[in-house]
Structure formats: structure tokens, C-alpha cells
Amino acid sequence: MNKFIKVLSKPCFIILFLFSLGCDQASETSEKKSENDNLQNSFDGINRIYEGKLDSKVTIITYESLTCGHCADFHTNIYPQLKKEFIDTGIVKIEFRHFPLDGAALNASKIAQCRNDGKSDVLNFLFSNQKKWAIGETVETANENLKKLLKDENIVIDFEKCTNNKKIEDYVLNDRIEGVKKFKVNATPTIIINNKKFDKSLNYKNLKKSIEKLI
């Protein structure tokens, strides 16, 4: 692990052999997971982070790494429009799935998931402030940056308790493994719309066109 924490400005492609994130163990967990993807019945008591109505006609799944610059760009420049036009109006439900590309992203995913309330507030906060914490050359540096940011913004989360939570870690890694197995995810962000991979350039215009074809 060297300079991987620096925010990536190009699409974040996976180099699997670089990251030892306990995938074998998470794979075993994946086999135990029910095929039922209902949000309210999430993995081992952990609630999926999502926005929108559960019975929306269109379901978007995003696979993201919290240290990926293009993922942060999606949350900053595309997601607000998507939320206003399609999510808040009940047309689209969006599920945020974890696909950590490095140790810093893995810890950040645990923090985003820690409150276990299904809300995207902390996730969006981490993406919008990515350049404040996802910097440096070690996981330890990113951790310290993140702890300071949470404290400065009065976001009450027990950092050590969350990042050492094995259940949350298994959940996060299971998302990643399932993304590879089910949708052949090999880069972040990857967008899935009604179980089909979105293969166009990721901008709001293209995303909107794809949604409108389904409604």
C-alpha cells in the first residue's frame, strides 16, 4: 500500500492482487446470504444504504469506492439532479453498494454503514469531503484525516468501534464480491439499472435517457 489513497482522477479500475481485503472469508459469507435482495432484510441485520421508495419502478444500484474520484464526482454533480427529478418523485430507488479498492476505502465504507439506519447522509458527506480525508500515502494517514473530519463536523461516530466491527466488514466485502460475481464489476463507479449494467458515458443526460426508457 503506497500512494493508493490519493484521490483518483481517472476511472478507478480494480487491481485485485494489490488489495488483501479478506475476500476469501467474505466469499464464505456470501454463500450464506439469502438471494432475497429486499432492502429491509439486509445481510445479518445490517441495513442497505438507499434512497427512494422500495416499490419504485426503476432500481439503480451503484458500486463505488469512497477513495474513487469519479465516484465523488457522481455524488456531487449527478446524484443531486437524479434525486430531485426521479428519486424524490418516487420513480427511482437507488441502492449504494460498497466496492472498496483499498484499505482506506474499506474503513470509510464501515463508517458510512455504521449508524445502520439505511440513510445516505454519512456516505454523501464522505464523498463530498473526499479531498479532505482521502489523501496521504498510508491507510493510517487517511484514518487520522477521517477521524479529524468527523470530529470537526460534529458527526458522532465511534471510529474504532466501527472500523473494528467484523460484521460490518463482512457486509462491505460481500458487496464487492457479489458485484464481481453477479454484474462483473471491474471499475468504480459501476451503475446497474434494473439489473443491467449501464454501459454509456456516465453523465446525467445519458442516465436520464436510460431511466426514461423504463417508465
Closest alpha carbon to 126 in 167, 92, 81, 162: 162
Containing structural domain, residue 35: 22-207
| Local confidence band at 10 (pLDDT 50, 70, 90 cut-offs) | very low
Longest dimension (CA), the chain: 46
CATH number, position 182 = 3.40.30.10
Residue 78 corresponds to which cell in the numbers above? Answer: 449527478
Give me the residues paired with residue 177 across strands: none
Is residue 151 assigned to a domain? yes
Average pLDDT over residues 105-123: 96
Residue 11 lies in a domain: no
The answer to whether residue 7 sits within a structural domain is no
159 is a domain residue: yes
Q: How many domains does the chain have?
A: 1
Residue 67 in any domain: the answer is: yes
Whether pLDDT at 23 is above 80: no
- Residue 6: inside a domain, yes or no? no
Query: pLDDT tens digits, residue range 159-205?
Result: 999 999 999 999 999 999 999 999 999 999 999 999 999 999 999 99
Task: Read off the pLDDT of each residue in 92-102 and give the average, rounded to a whole number.
Answer: 98
pLDDT at 167: 93
Mean pLDDT of 106-126: 96
**Is 17 inside any structural domain?**
no
pLDDT at residue 52 greater than cutoff 50: yes
Mean pLDDT of 43-59: 91
- Given pLDDT bands bounded at 50, 70 and 90, which one contains residue 44? low
Share of the chain above pLDDT 70, in %: 80
Residue 124 in this model has a pLDDT that exceeds 60: yes
Is residue 213 situated within a structural domain?
A: no
Pairwise CA distance, residues 132 & 117, whole Å: 25
Q: Do residues 34 and 178 lie in contact, with contact meaning Cβ atoms separated by under 8 Å?
A: no
